[in-house]
A and B are shown apart, each in its own frame.
Chain A
């Protein structure tokens, strides 16, 4: 600790250099945070997927519908505790560009998702209201909806018997922990099925909860076997695998993010910091020799330079992480297809570790040079 003033003085000796090095390191970690947010958005909630939830869809494709008659058969399957179903509605609000996930679900649907926090009275109101809707906080906020509002949604897939618009009442607004999508809009399947012009008795996909996650694969196999050789064969997978399927469809986002990150950290962080430290050690050659003459050990000199490098790394990088972290809390992509806009605490921890590691790497070479300085040679050089 007593060496801190010394390190501080060294940093202040070339203020311009210190400031621009810090700025570059800062930007590198703003970018790191931004890239992590993008990656989280593209991972579509895979990491918060429930281990005890399975998704049962049509074997050919998710867009193929399944008969509602499967509901009772699935419910009767051993090991299944809750069954919900969901039908993609599409739909737009006011403008074609205003899209969010509108889904027609059965009354039990919310029992499958304890992550969605909804006051009991709101759930009751929804259950009692045929045209009722439960909407996520993010979408409610975006369009300024309150409980009791009437909302018109223009059909994209399911055209009502009259006109082109469906009308709903907002009965509930759900919240959730970070990472769980709160942009969805849920209404009653019954209402859809009674008023659409065709495809009666067909639903999009089923979601079910099993009592024992370790037997999920077994339950999935039994369900698929039950519907084999019917007109609508099924494919059942864990929710995680189901979501991962979407992520894979988009492409290898992770590889792209990691490559960009490598370029950013190398050019803006490592190179700049290493160069700054090298210059700083070169300028201080005679000073370092004096320190050694005064009895500073080689190890101590090495440590001083490394700490200086890490200090720059952590100060700049930490600021970058902190500022983006708080900025993300308030913002959103406003994108219907990538609604989750978060930075995980894990990303922050990895960021800090990266800062330290890169700080050490950048300082390693100059620090070794400083350590190896021979007093006589160094003092002779001016």
Chain B
């Protein structure tokens, strides 16, 4: 057993150490696999970043209440009287007998993207007095909170970075709407940072919404209080609403986009992977055929077939591992943290996010590279192991 192992190791290290002699053909396999890993990791990091921006917005101990049937805040509508009933619900957190909840409006304004100068749908959220208590992860990082009852507004960090015209201290006009930006806020890099927030009554007035809202965001006593809260609301004959845990709500809102990016990403990766396997097979066949005499000599000296087979596979895996590492690292340094924004089809509004090359993506990329190496090396390895010694030695 030991002898078999040392034989195999010796032959395998021989083939790996002689890779530089076959540099040009080895490079084909290596670069091919590196290319696949770069594209794979880069495309999926877009999906991952988008998903993270949406998923991080949701907390399990908050609930979103909308009109039943509405598929987003934008298509929802709740009369003011209903929002008051919603705030009576059990399970809702109360501080000093006041419900910790915010009745909100969600509209869009056109702002120009800084990168291209083209208009984009940026969400403008009208919030209630307790909104920052409900969203307790939100912090003002520059300037101050706006005063309710005025036309002041605060802007999310990402919106401020991606869109022109909403800098601290600037005044911004769109139709009848005049806003004065007095602060910049952050909220864990989530989708909320793409929004502009102002007093909900301001939007009600300018957008002629009367006393109506679109959603209520409620802080619950605990994540477990959700069922009590939901049941009370959905069985209440005064209301026609749907209740979603905030984390589920945002997961739902990102479904179409994430699914689309992932679908396209995996299709490209699988096709490219097949192509790269063909490249690897070519490389390994070349490697075997240039070493025909060498392999035959080893066999003649008494090295067993398994060690020859494994040595070819080892070479192929080594090439794949190098390709995978190079590809993964290139993708990481080139794309991780790249800031951009896109329009979420489901909400029709912009979401700013950063490409996220996560550790799990890198591991997936590297595993994929090794699979390509293994598949690519298999046929040539079998061919090498089966070489008839006598004829092979005679070959030039």
A63 touches B74 (CB 8 A): yes
A263 touches B275 (CB 8 A): no
Please report which residues of chain B, range 337-357, place their CB below 8 angstroms from some CB of chain A when the two chains form the complex. 340-343, 345, 348, 350
Known A-B contacts A17-B285, A249-B121; the reply to A272 vs B278 at CB < 8 A is yes
A34 touches B108 (CB 8 A): no
Question: Which of B111-119, B143-151, B186-194, B304-312 touches A?
Answer: B111-119
B75 touches A27 (CB 8 A): no
The 30 listed contacts between A and B (C-beta, < 8 Å) are A20-B282, A20-B285, A24-B278, A34-B267, A60-B174, A61-B107, A61-B110, A63-B74, A63-B107, A63-B108, A64-B107, A64-B175, A156-B71, A156-B75, A159-B67, A164-B69, A231-B176, A246-B343, A248-B119, A248-B120, A251-B341, A260-B43, A267-B32, A268-B35, A268-B276, A271-B27, A275-B282, A276-B282, A335-B256, A337-B260
Please report which residues of chain A, range 250-284, place their CB below 8 angstroms from some CB of chain B when the two chains form the complex. 250-252, 256, 260, 263-264, 266-268, 271-272, 275-276, 278-279
Q: Does B274 contact A (CB under 8 A)?
A: yes
Contact of B75 among A59, A90, A256, A271 (CB under 8 A): A90
Interface string of B17-57 (1 = CB under 8 A from A): 00000001101100110111011000100100000000000
Q: Does A28 contact B (CB under 8 A)?
A: yes
CA distance A260 to B39 in the complex (A): 6
A20 touches B281 (CB 8 A): yes
Q: Does A154 contact B (CB under 8 A)?
A: yes
Contact of B272 among A27, A62, A250, A252 (CB under 8 A): A27
Q: Does B363 contact A (CB under 8 A)?
A: no
CA distance A273 to B264 in the complex (A): 26
A61 touches B71 (CB 8 A): no
- CB contacts (< 8 Å) of A271 on chain B: these are 27-28, 31-32, 279
- CB contacts (< 8 Å) of A382 on chain B: these are 396
Given contacts A17-B282, A156-B70, 14 further A-B contacts (CB under 8 A): A23-B275, A27-B271, A59-B174, A61-B109, A63-B108, A157-B70, A245-B119, A260-B39, A264-B35, A266-B35, A268-B35, A268-B279, A272-B278, A337-B260
Please report which residues of chain B, range 286-325, place their CB below 8 angstroms from some CB of chain A when the two chains form the complex. 286
CA distance A326 to B84 in the complex (A): 58
Contact of B28 among A27, A59, A61, A275 (CB under 8 A): A275
Q: Is the interface on chain A under 10, 10 to 19, 20 to 34, or 35 or more residues?
A: 35 or more
Q: Does B268 contact A (CB under 8 A)?
A: yes
B108 touches A272 (CB 8 A): no
We find that the number of chain B residues with CB closer than 8 angstroms to chain A is 59
Q: Does B81 contact A (CB under 8 A)?
A: no
Interface residues of A (CB under 8 A from B): 16-17, 20-21, 23-24, 27-28, 30-31, 34-35, 38, 58-64, 90, 92, 96, 99, 154-157, 159, 164, 231, 233, 245-246, 248-252, 256, 260, 263-264, 266-268, 271-272, 275-276, 278-279, 335, 337-338, 382
Q: Does B68 contact A (CB under 8 A)?
A: yes
Q: CB-nearest residue of chain A relative to B346?
A: A337
- CB contacts (< 8 Å) of A252 on chain B: these are 116
CA distance A59 to B173 in the complex (A): 11
Q: Does B177 contact A (CB under 8 A)?
A: yes
- CB contacts (< 8 Å) of B120 on chain A: these are 248-249
Known A-B contacts A250-B343, A268-B32; the reply to A96 vs B275 at CB < 8 A is no
Please report which residues of chain B, range 107-141, place their CB below 8 angstroms from some CB of chain A when the two chains form the complex. 107-110, 113, 116, 118-121
A31 touches B272 (CB 8 A): yes
CA distance A324 to B163 in the complex (A): 39
B271 touches A263 (CB 8 A): no
CA distance A278 to B24 in the complex (A): 10
A31 touches B256 (CB 8 A): no
Q: CB-nearest residue of chain A relative to B116?
A: A248
Q: Which 7 A-B pairs have the closest CB atoms?
A: A267-B35, A27-B275, A249-B343, A268-B275, A248-B118, A60-B175, A337-B345
CA distance A266 to B36 in the complex (A): 11
- CB contacts (< 8 Å) of A38 on chain B: these are 264
Q: CB-nearest residue of chain B relative to A244?
A: B118
A248 touches B113 (CB 8 A): yes
Contact of B279 among A60, A64, A267 (CB under 8 A): A267
Q: CB-nearest residue of chain B relative to A17?
A: B282
CA distance A248 to B118 in the complex (A): 7
- CB contacts (< 8 Å) of A250 on chain B: these are 342-343
- CB contacts (< 8 Å) of A61 on chain B: these are 107-110, 121, 174
B110 touches A60 (CB 8 A): yes
CB distance from B70 to the nearest CB of A (A): 6
- CB contacts (< 8 Å) of B32 on chain A: these are 267-268, 271-272
